[in-house]
Homo-oligomer: A and B are copies of this chain.
Amino acid sequence: MTLSLDPNAIGAVLDGRWAPTRRLGRSLALNETTHLDPADDLETTRAKTLEAVGLMADTGLPLLALPESMGGENAHAANVAGFEETVTASPSLQIKAGVQFGLFGGAILHLGNSRQHESWLRPAMTGELLGSFAMTEIGHGSDVSAIGTTATYLPEDEEFVIDTPFTAATKEFIGNAARDARAAVVFAQLVTGGVNHGVHAFFVPLRTSDGQPLPGITFTDDGYKGGLPGVDNGRISFDGVRIPRTHLLDRYGAVDAAGAYSSPITSPGRRFFTMLGTLVQGRVSLDGAAIVASKLALDIAIRYGLERRQFTTSDEITETTLMDYQQHQRRLMPRLAAVYASALAHEKLLTSFDEVFSGADDSEENRALLETRAAAFKADSTWLALDVIQECREACGGAGYMAENRLVGLRADLDVYVTFEGDNTVLLQLAAKRILGDYAKEFAHIDVGGVARFIGTQAAEHSLYRTGLANAGLAISDAFTRGLGDRRIRSGKLQRSLLETRLEVMVSELAGDLRPATKMSPAAAAELFNSQQHELIEMARAYVELEKWKALDETMRAQDDPDQAKVFRRLRDAYGLSLIEKHMSWHLMYGRLPMSRARQLPDTLNRLCAKLAANSLDLVEAFGYTDKHRRATIATGIEAQRQREAAEHYRRARSRRDFPVPEKHLIRQTTSSAV
């Protein structure tokens, strides 16, 4: 059952194409300066985090993303891969650095002109010029188009005046704002000649070099949050703040000296989404960062679970390791598989991100696909991280609740990842709408025979679902899964077929249900969409799940070493079967899975988890983290050492024959067969 695996070889698969910068990002955790201490007060923690941001700048990672002309390497994925590994040092560092280099620097890079690049980009990317990214307001987070901050052009002075016209328009949750930022990229409604041209980005100095607020600018410290204590979030309000005309980041919309507005993109809507689209890097990197945090948590909990013993079960002497319990395996192994799937899918996302941003393939299709995936993956991976870290915390019992074992801190820090850079619920709706659009397009380009076939399928779906002929439906469905019905539930083909069919049916049903919206009043259309909101979100999740499953499946096929291929197969199956179990009622109701196969599932999954548990140490060793990355006392071997000490005590007591202890204490084994 136990496979012979080389963790380094598996690690190479996981670390992928950008392994060198991953290792560079990871190396920051080896420097103790980057470690936060819960005993420090807020200001000390913030100062330490700022220092860590400086250390990160010193690695040169942020400069990688700059164009060659500015001494960079136009290496976007390499930069992001390294950056997301800084979670091992601390999520506060990752987020504060993300604000500085990814959002503040990134906005200048993607929205600014070459003169602006010359002025601000290098100082931003070296950390010399500390900045904020001031988009969200108290009143509007998800609906950025409705923000209230204004930038009104005054041609007589060739200046914009930035204003916060009411409380709800105050910039809120802005990273670096409470303490460190000297400037910000501020999003505001651009008004010139009495016309509002919608949201644009402006470079606005905030503080003097010694940290005093500039005139007209007011800061409020957001203070304590659920986590991320090293990030100084705050509010910013503007009262008649003047900036030169040349501070408009004008790649997608410019104002000349006289106040005339021009843009390479005519449609205001398309312009707005193009501007926001350049900021996709944030979502890409949160997807990766969430996976790093999940790996750390599993690394800690699995090491502890392999050592920790509680209760004698199989005999009266040897206590059982936690990892030998079925439920413990069921808690941790499917999550380990999901994290592997996520890591491999993330590598594909990075590839697509690199193609778009390096210019290698900057087609509209590729950009749209990148945006859809980034939104959906970020949502799925950040929720997965919360689930994984919490399960790991609970799996370590009371020890998991101690700050010194890291898990509670990771959980607290990662919490807000599901909200920022796009609330997950909103992102999944965005992805769902994109997927529906693709489906419509596909429909338009399909050949006539294809259409006929497709409509036939769709009709069958609908009759199956709507007529209540579910039992008859089972027979119909067998036609769909012809040749699959006799496959074992572990069959990759069966898994793929189930995951694909579910997505396809959900998409086609939603398309059918929502099609009337195009002919409705806006109010009626909105109501119709709202009535399908839950289903839209589920469909987008089905999409991510399939993509992640495919990443594991492809990786499995690419392995030469037979045991390594086998372990990836086990991971794929554990992930696939967990998904099928989660959505079992769907597969049954749609007659996609014969009952006989469905009944195999729980036992098959239990056996798979037991097999994966036998190699679980290899699978977490492959993450490439050390004690300095994990920083969890319980994952250092201390538990086994204490068990040896106790066993030695009982052995001595027995030999003295003067110390009465129950038999099960006398010769308790302390070496685990699994470790």
Instruction: Spell out A's residues near B (CB within 8 Å).
Output: 38-39, 41-42, 136, 138-143, 146, 148, 165-169, 172-173, 189, 191, 194-196, 198, 222-227, 310-316, 319, 324-327, 330, 386, 390, 393-394, 397-398, 400-404, 407-409, 411-412, 415-416, 418-420, 423-425, 465, 468, 470-471, 473-474, 522-523, 526-527, 529-534, 537, 581, 584-585, 588-589, 594-596, 598-599, 602, 606, 642-643, 645-646, 648-649, 658, 660-662, 664-665
Contacts and interface: CB of A to CB of B under 8 A. Distances in A.
A165 B310 contact: no
Contacts of A522: 314-316
A602 B139 CA distance: 33
A146 to B, nearest CB: 7
Contacts of A420: 398
Contacts of A584: 584-585, 589
Contact of A141 (B222, B397, B409): B397
Nearest to A468: B596
B403 A662 contact: no
5 contacts: A222-B402, A394-B419, A398-B420, A470-B594, A589-B595
Contact of A314 (B146, B401, B474, B523): B523
A439 B531 CA distance: 44
Contacts of A195: 660
A631 to B, nearest CB: 13
A527 to B, nearest CB: 7
A38 B224 contact: yes
A402 B660 contact: no
A419 B390 contact: no
A537 B325 CA distance: 13
Given A143-B319, A314-B522, 18 more contacts: A138-B642, A139-B646, A141-B398, A167-B642, A195-B660, A222-B402, A226-B403, A226-B411, A227-B401, A227-B408, A313-B529, A315-B523, A326-B532, A326-B534, A327-B533, A401-B419, A412-B412, A468-B599
A326 B351 CA distance: 36
B225 A168 contact: no
A224 B423 CA distance: 30
B595 A468 contact: yes
Contacts of A471: 471, 474, 595
Contact of A142 (B311, B465, B646, B661): B311
Contact of A226 (B316, B401, B533, B662): B401
A585 B598 contact: yes
Contacts of A598: 470, 585, 589
B643 A139 contact: yes
Contact of A404 (B189, B223, B588, B658): B223
A83 B533 CA distance: 41
Mostly, the A contact residues are: helix
Contacts of A649: 148, 165-166
A665 B146 contact: yes
B142 A310 contact: yes
Contacts of A418: 394
Given A326-B534, A533-B325, A223 B403 contact: yes
A408 B229 CA distance: 13
Given A39-B42, A325-B530, A649-B165, A226 B408 contact: yes
Given A166-B646, A642-B139, A643-B139, A196 B660 contact: yes
B223 A534 contact: no
A401 B231 CA distance: 13
Contacts of A409: 226
B534 A606 contact: yes
A142 B396 CA distance: 12
B585 A642 contact: no
A393 B606 contact: no
A324 B598 CA distance: 38
A168 B646 CA distance: 7
Contacts of A606: 531, 534
A215 to B, nearest CB: 23
B398 A526 contact: no
A310 B167 contact: no
The 5 A-B pairs at the shortest CB distance, nearest first, are namely A470-B595, A226-B408, A584-B585, A224-B403, A38-B224
Given A226-B393, A522-B315, A326 B39 contact: no
A633 B48 CA distance: 30
Contacts of A136: 398
A635 to B, nearest CB: 15
B412 A400 contact: no
Contacts of A537: 327
A39 B526 CA distance: 44
A416 B401 contact: yes
A140 B227 CA distance: 31
Given A225-B401, A225-B403, A310 B646 contact: no
A255 to B, nearest CB: 14
Nearest to A197: B660
Nearest to A529: B313
A90 to B, nearest CB: 15
A39 B599 contact: no
Nearest to A172: B398
A642 B533 CA distance: 28
A646 B327 contact: no
B310 A140 contact: yes
Contact of A588 (B324, B588, B602): B588
